[in-house]
Structure 1
Amino acid sequence: MSLFDLEKHFAFYGAYHSNPINIFIHMLFVWPIFYSSLMLFYYVPMLFFPNFASFFTIVYAVFYVGMDKKAGSLAALLCFLCWVGASACATHLGYSLTWKVVLAAQLLCWTAQFVGHGVFEKRAPALLDNLVQAFLMAPFFVFLEALQHFFGYEPYPGFHAKVKAMVDAEIKEWQEKKQKKLS
């Protein structure tokens, strides 16, 4: 899979997120995971960056712009706003309180997502099959889902129909493999 192949990344991630309730859960909790991670990463120093949070933000922003110029630029802006807010929040709270807030937020958000997968999706999360891809794609996936749902946005005409066909094919393949294991 090409690093910036939006269709394939979106189809991979979408195959693990086809249930509307699970998608809604992810829309609520993915960005808080990103934000709270930045709060903690604010305290991790780096050689050529102010801290790991700034490096992390840049990596995500570049990845999203490389995937789709329009939506990726908006997602990159959101990443930078999260970085600014998380840095200010972490500075205000101090390390001893920040890590507690981050721990609580991460536990809540991850629990909700695992419940979404176990109860509604009835499929293990994408991160069990491709950890890096799942972590990089998750915020952009829910961002694109929101843009499509609320504004009808598509990176190009027919994108969602093409990706839906790819998602349906991946889900069918997964169900067939699952059925073979059971029989």
Structure 2
Amino acid sequence: MAKTGLFDLENHFSFYGAYHSNPVNIFIHMLFVWPIVFTALVFLYFTPTLVHVLLPHGLVLNYGFLFTVIYAGFYVCLDVKAGSVAGLLCFVCWVFGSFLAQHLGFSVAWKFVLAAQVFCWTGQFIGHGVFEKRAPALLDNLSQAFLMAPFFVLLEGMQMTVGYEPYPGFHNSVKAKVDANIKQWKESKKKL
């Protein structure tokens, strides 16, 4: 069943998809988006504890946990099945990111995070510049691009590998919106 407003998956997916229609660019994003999430959570491990609760293995309820809960909850609201998978991946990234941060310590972790972020972001910008030939979505809608990127690549992967659709006709509807968006963008470029 299609949702509207903030939880309109079709609208979010078609916006993001219009910036990611080239198969090579999509593949690059599939490789690099989740490592960006993971390394961001490694860095966020060092943020202040929000709620002091004794958790096993040195896990803390900090901003990394808060972002994990927000992302996971949003994804589940968009689509229960794929969102649950994405939410689980968010929590796996938080747990293992926390373990890695503890092991490395801040003085090494921030360097690891910086190197990984630069490498992954560079790959994505190359994907857009060389293959997509369109600026990244984050230049037009920063929050939507950051929030949807992990879910987009997961849903794209689920569609490619097992033919998953949140509801019947989802991918056909999204493809029509993506094609219309790309056509409109190309026509606007011709006018410049």
Band the TM-score falls in, shorter-chain normalisation: over 0.9
Q: Which residue of 2 aligns with 1:26?
A: 29
Cα displacement (A) at 1:47: 3.2
Measured after TM superposition, the shift of residue 72 of structure 1 is: 0.2
The answer to whether 1:118 aligns with 2:121 is no
Cross-structure match for 1:69:
80
Q: Moved runs in structure 1, 4+ residues, more than 6 A?
A: none
Q: Any conservation in 1 of the 2:42–2:113 contact (CA below 8 Å)?
A: yes
AA in 1 matched with 2:167: Y
Count of aligned positions: 181
TM-score, normalised with respect to structure 1: 0.97
Deviation of 1:5 after TM superposition, in Å, equals 0.4
SS in 1 for 2:6: coil
TM-score of the superposed pair, with normalisation by structure 2? 0.92
Following superposition of structure 1 onto structure 2, how do residues 34-113 of structure 1 map, counting pairs within 5 Å? 34-48=37-51, 50-113=61-124
**In structure 1, how many angstroms separate the alpha carbons of the residues matched to 2:91 and 2:144?**
20
CA distance in 2, matches of 1:88, 1:47: 18
1:75-105 deviations in Å (ceiling 9; x for gaps) = 1001001100000000011000100000010
Instruction: Check the 8 A contact 2:50/2:63 in 1, yes or no.
Output: no
Residue ranges of structure 2 left out of the alignment (5+ in a row): 52-59
Measure, in 2, the Cα distance between the counterparts of 1:62 and 1:179: 41
The DSSP-based 3-state class of the residue aligned with 1:45 is: coil
Deviation at 1:46, TM superposition (A): 4.5
Distance 1:82 1:75 in 2: 10
The Cα shift of 1:158 comes to 1.1
CA distance in 2, matches of 1:157, 1:80: 29
